Every structure is written in structure tokens, then in C-alpha cells.
Chains A and B, each alone.
Chain A
Amino acid sequence: MRLCARTCLLAALALTPALASAQTQTTMFSNLVNPAIGINALFSAQAAPTLNQPYGPQFDEAELSAIAVVDPYWTLSANIVFLEGAVDPEEIWARSTNIPSLQLKLGKLRGTFGKHPLLHPHAFPFVEAPIAVTNAIGEEGFKDAGLEAAWLTPLPWFAELTGGVYHALDVSDDNPLDFGSSRHDNLPFLGHFKNQFDVTGETTLEAGASYLQGRGTDDFVHSVVGADLTVRNVPAKSSNRSGWILQGEWLQKGANIGGDYVAEQRGGYGSFQYRLSQVWWAGVRGERALDSTTDFMTDAFDSAVRGAVSRGTVNIAWVPSEFSCVRLEYSHAKADVGAHPTDDRILLQLSYTIGFHPAHAY
């Protein structure tokens, strides 16, 4: 055998135990370092004659969720949303796990305000967020860096008191609240009181009140106040195929201008969702909002105009499993302003989830 071949053979023989060792060697990283990861993708199609846009399907967003225990004291949750042409670190927050009766949340949060503002878009019961919510606090609620403390009080029913402080945030496409003052003492804060009672073994009543305040770029104090009421029925023997939810919420945005409170956008909704079977849901919602805007309330030059608007919505959803949903929705709206004061539209929404799927909030 030539010298070169002998050398290669000897080298291979010498390396083989090392290679074998490397293949069986225990890695220093276990699955401990992998968070639970999931992705939800939302698609929709809309036929709205009043809007100057083509009908047809569109990609709404994909939300990447991750959650893992940080250490014996904290758990971290993250939701990063991919939109067409943008990435939004929507929520990234740590939750305390070790304090009796108290839960701290710090990071980029969805402020604990109301009921609908707490929902992620794929969990909305109707394709479109309520007009009052969008105008008062933002379609997806108040999202901001902050710290919240939620205290489970010793009262004999579930009574949770939440207080929060946040980073001063200016008005944006997502955020209608002006908390943008650069004063050192501008620390927007929130208060929320949630109460839940078991009316029977299958029906619950939840009542909540919320308040959020901060100082605006105009140096005035801006605020939003809300109240919510939910009655929910989940029959014990058919919890995954029947039941209903009756929910109402009212929000009002305003400002203290020169010592006087001036109400701005305000309004509310009432909705009823009914579970027809394991895979079918139906819903109906009525809304009324004052001094508000929507995408169809525009003048002759396509600029948004503010006014009073009412909307009725009906939908039906096919939910073949917890991980997918197809929703068909019709809404009729009437405003007292705008070049097209009446709006009728049909929407179709598709939602798909893979990977980790968080437990459903009640």
C-alpha cells in the first residue's frame, strides 16, 4: 500500500473513535432551551363597495408566539407579528410566578383595559374590532412598554385589581391616545377592576371597569374610561359543543382642557355569540359610536370625517378544531357624515395555528 494511502487509513482509524465519541457525546444543550413556539396566520377577503380597494384575498398577519420559564421567578411571553412590509414586537413581557396573590407583568404589554382590547386579532369574535374600541383605545388595545401589578384580592369572589404605569406614547396608526408629553412627570397610568361571579355551575357574570390616563403633546391630560359586562354560559356536559356569550362594553375617550373635561370618541357594543355545535358558531353584534371615524366615513376628497355611526354585524364561523377557523361576516353600517354614509360589506377570514397553542382565556 502506498505511503499516502497508509497515512490516510491510519488517520481515519485514529479519528474514528473521536467521531464515534462525538456522535454519542451528550450535548450541553437540552430541550430546556427551547421555548414553546406557535404561529398563527390570518388571511381575509373583503367585498366593501364603499371602499376604494379591490375585492380579493389578502394576508393580514402572522403572529409568532413563544413562551418559556426564565427561572423560578419569571416566565417570559413574546408575540411578534409579521405584517405586509413590517414586523411588530407586539408583546414581550415577563410575568412573576412567585408572589402570593400578586402578578407582575413588565415589558411591552397589552394594557389590561376592558374586554375586547385584551384580545389578539385571531381571537376576535367578529372579524372587525368594535368601532368604539378602535377609536378610544386602538383596534388591538393599548400596547405599550410598562409595568402592571394585578392583585387577586381576598374578597370571596374573583376580584382582581390591576394597576399599571407605562411609557409615554404619542398618537400613531395603532394608538389614538395622546400620551406624548415629554414632561418628566408624564407617567401614563391604568387602573382596572375585574369581578367574576358564578351565577350557576354553568353561567358566569363578569363586570369590569377600566381607566387609563396620560398627558398629551398639548400638555392636557387625556384619558379613556371603560365598563364591560359579560354573561357566559358553558353547559357542563357539552362544554365543547354548546353555550353562549352575551357581552357589552362602553368606552369614552376625553381630555381635561383648561380644567373642563371634554368628551371625545365614545360608544359601545353589545354582542351575542352562540355555539351551534362542536364546529359551528354564530354571532350578532350591534354598535353605536359618537364622534368617531371608520374606514368608510370619508368626504368627497377621501379624507376621514368624524361623526356618529351605528353598525350591525352577523357572522357564522366554522371551527373544525381549536387550530383553524373560517368566519363569514356581513355588516351594515350607517353614519351621519361622509360621502358614503351607508356601508355594507362581506368579509371572509381564515385563521390557522401551528405549534404551541395557548389555553383559551375564559
Chain B
Amino acid sequence: MNTITRIAIAVALTLLATEPARADLKVATSLTDLASVAQFVGGKHVTAQSLSRGFEDPHFVPAKPSLMKAIQHADVFISSGLELDSGWLPLVLPGSRNPKIQPGAKGFIDASQGVTVLEKPSGNVSRAEGDVHPLGNPHYYLDPKALEVVADHLAEAFSQLDAANAADYAANAKAFDARMETSLDKWQKQMAPYRGASIVPYHKNFIYFAERFGLKLFGTVEPKPGIPPSPKYISELAESMKKAGVKVVTYQPYYNAEASKQVAQRAGGIAIEVPTECGGVSGTDDVFAKFDVMVASISGALSGKGGAK
């Protein structure tokens, strides 16, 4: 066999190799928060990456082919569930050509399983109400307690795929839950003075945070999910906020800050940028840091010490 033939065979074998040797579970997620929880639960046995970035709207992540490539050899894919990622994941998952992580496979995890879902529509669901989520509000990751449910679920799922490290996954999930309970106590104390206060988020994603910390949602900047506010709507919302004494508007890095600031200005209040996903702003690299920033921002705004950003 001559040299050229040997090289050709070596190149062909390299190209035909479909999966590198596995050192631990390669986990991919649709949301940064899920990657954070997965990394806590998986510890040294897991490398977790999120396909979306924290400053991207999780509804509208571009279904780039490079995302398909990124998960071609993943062992696990964690979807947010409740169709939050339905605008792009149905292209990315099949495009990855990775049978291990397709819906129905052991490596596909719906993180919403076991979570108490709010705002499940009853009766007819129609797009006359905007871009509604027919399975309920999917932004459960804004409730610290929901992430404990996710952590426990992931520990179980990782254990089924990697039984040798099941004890570590269980211990890590327990440690995560304990840390979350301690942190939740701290956040509850910070938010306690503002129980019953109203805020106006840009989108209806705040319902879980509001329920947990006793806040009320006085409408949203967008008139219906996915529909941008008109000047008339902005004016009407601001007027009703003024009458009710509601002063705080929140928006995420990926929403139209201008509309939120206009509402706040006309209502005589403030608009604050609040990250709802890890990595949404600097200093929110994991779920604990994220909630630290959320609680500080919102409590600061409600105290009257916060300002428009």
C-alpha cells in the first residue's frame, strides 16, 4: 500500500468518525438558567452549554445551523418545555442529526416536568390574544422554588444516563436545593417591605417572580404577547398607572427599552432593565447571581432609590 493510499484511508477514517471519546455528560440546553442548574447538579461530571444567550429573547433565538453543529455530539438536551423554544428548537434538534437528544430519546429532557405551571389557558385558546403559550406560562425559571424541582428532575435524569455517578448527582441536587432555600430566605427578607406592590413588566414573564415574592402585575407594556405597544396604548397604560400610583416598569435586555421608558416617564415612575435569564446582564453568570440582581433591582426601584437605565 503506498503512502498516498495510507493517507487517504487515514483521512477517510477521520472524516467518518462521528463521535469523540466521552469523558463526561455533554449537556446542552435551550436556556442559560437550565445550563446553570445542570452544571450545579452535574458538577465535575457534566459540561453544560446553553444554545441561547441570556441577553437574547428565548422566544426568538435564530435557528442558526451552527447551533445544530454545537449539539451534534451532545449526550443530553434540556428543553425549557411549555413551547417556549418552539420557534427555533424544532429546526435545531432534527438538524443536529443526534438521535440521543431527539424528543422521546433518553437524552431529551423537558425541564418543565413536575413544575407547577401558572396561567394554563382554560377554554378556547386563540391567537386573537397574541402569541399565547397554549400549555401555560413557560417562564417558571423566574421562581427560585421551581428551579429546585428542575434540579431534582435533572439529578434523576442524569442518573439514568450515568448510573455510576448517581450518588454525586443526588448530592449535588440536594446541595443546590439547600442553597436555594437559604438564598430564598434572604431574598424574601429583601422583598418583604414591598409585598403587595405593583409593577408593570414588558412581557408576562414576571408572573412566577410576582407570585413568589407577593408582587402584583399591573398590566404589561406589550398589549398582548408578541404585539408591540402603540402610542395610544402607551398613553393609556401610563395614565392608568398614574391613577393607581404604580411607578415601576421592568424590561429585559432584549425588549424595546424605549417603549418601557416612555410608559414610565408618562406615569411619573421609573423603568429598570432587569435580567430574567442568566447572563442577561454582567454579574448574572448563574441562577443565584441572577436572582441577586433581580431582587436588588426590583426592591431598589420599589423603594424609590432605583433609577431608569
Do A158 and B69 have beta carbons less than 8 Å apart? yes
Indicate with 1 or 0, residue by residue over B247-260, a CB within 8 angstroms of chain A CB atoms: 00000011010000
Q: How many residues of A contact B (CB 8 A)?
A: 45
Contact residues in A for B18 (Cβ distance below 8 Å): 100-101, 154
**Stretch of B54-62, B162-170, B175-183, B263-271 contacting A (4+ beta carbons < 8 Å):** B54-62
Asked whether any CB of chain B lies closer than 8 Å to the CB of A358, the reply is yes
Query: Across the two chains, which residue of chain B brings its CB closest to A238?
Result: B254
Does A17 count as interface, using CB distance less than 8 angstroms? no
C-alpha gap A359/B85 in the complex (Å): 10
Task: State how many angstroms separate the Cβ of B8 from the closest Cβ of chain A.
Answer: 16
Q: Would you call A237 an interface residue if the criterion is a C-beta within 8 Å of the partner chain's C-beta atoms? A: yes
Question: Which segment of B38-46, B88-96, B149-157, B232-240 sits at the interface?
Answer: B88-96
Query: For residue B217, which residues in chain A have a CB less than 8 angstroms away from its CB?
Result: none
Any A CB within 8 A of the CB of B87: yes
Considering the chains assembled together, what is the distance between the CA atoms of A278 and B259 in angstroms? 13
- Which of A154, A237, A361 makes the CB contact (< 8 A) with B17? A154
Q: Are B69 and A103 in contact (CB under 8 A)?
A: no
Q: Please measure, in the bound complex, the distance between the C-alpha atom of A320 and the C-alpha atom of B226, giving whole angstroms.
A: 9
- Min Cβ gap B16→A in Å is 8
Interface string of B1-42 (1 = CB under 8 A from A): 000000000000011111100000000000000000000000
Chain B, Cβ-Cβ closest to A354: B127
| A237 interface neighbour in B55, B91, B131, B226, Cβ under 8 Å | B55
| Contact, CB under 8 Å: A362 / B91 | yes
Question: Which chain A residues in 236-279 approach chain B with CB under 8 Å?
Answer: 236-241, 277-279
Q: Is B146's beta carbon under 8 Å from chain A?
A: no
A322→B226 CA distance, assembly (Å)? 9
A152 lies within 8 A of B99 (CB):
no
Q: How many residues of B contact A (CB 8 A)?
A: 44
Residues of B within 8 A of A98 (CB): 99, 102
Instruction: Report which residue of A95, A101, A160, A277 has the largest number of chain B beta carbons within 10 angstroms of its beta carbon.
Output: A101
Contact A362 B53 (CB under 8 A): no
Whether B97 and A103, one on each chain, are in contact in the complex, defined by CB atoms closer than 8 angstroms, is yes
| B55→A359 contact, CB < 8 A | no
| CB <8 Å contact, B131 and A196 | no
Q: Give the Cβ gap from B200 to chain A, nearest Cβ, in Å.
A: 19
A72 an interface residue at 8 Å Cβ cutoff? yes
> Is B66 a contact partner of A157 (Cβ separation < 8 A)?
yes
Q: Looking across the interface, which residue of chain A has its beta carbon closest to that of B19?
A: A100
A61-106 residues with Cβ-Cβ distance < 8 A to B are: 69, 72, 75, 95, 97-103
The A137-189 residues at the B interface (CB cut-off 8 A) are: 150, 152-154, 157-158, 160
B63-A321 in contact (CB<8A)? no
B114 proximal to A (CB < 8 A)? no
Q: How far is the CB of A280 from chain B (nearest CB, A)?
A: 10
Task: Report if A198-B66 is in contact (Cβ < 8 Å); known contacts: A97-B99, A237-B56.
Answer: yes
Q: Is A197 an interface residue (CB 8 A)?
A: yes
A73 to chain B, nearest CB (A): 9
Of residues 199 to 228 in A, which have CB atoms within 8 Å of B's CB atoms?
201, 204, 206
Chain B hits for A157, CB < 8 A: 66, 69
B70-105 CB contacts (< 8 Å) to partner A: 72, 86-91, 94-99, 102, 104
* Pairwise interchain contact B99-A279, C-beta atoms closer than 8 A: no
Q: Does B212 contact A (CB under 8 A)?
A: no
Known interface pairs A201-B53, A204-B66, A239-B254; A359-B91 also in contact (CB < 8 Å) = yes
Query: Is the CB of B227 closer than 8 A to any CB of chain A?
Result: yes
When A and B form their complex, which 6 residue pairs have the shortest distance between CB atoms, in order from nearest? Answer: A158-B65, A196-B65, A158-B69, A240-B60, A359-B91, A239-B60
Known: A158-B69, A239-B57, A239-B62. 6 other contacts (CB 8 A): A98-B99, A100-B18, A150-B97, A279-B228, A320-B227, A359-B89
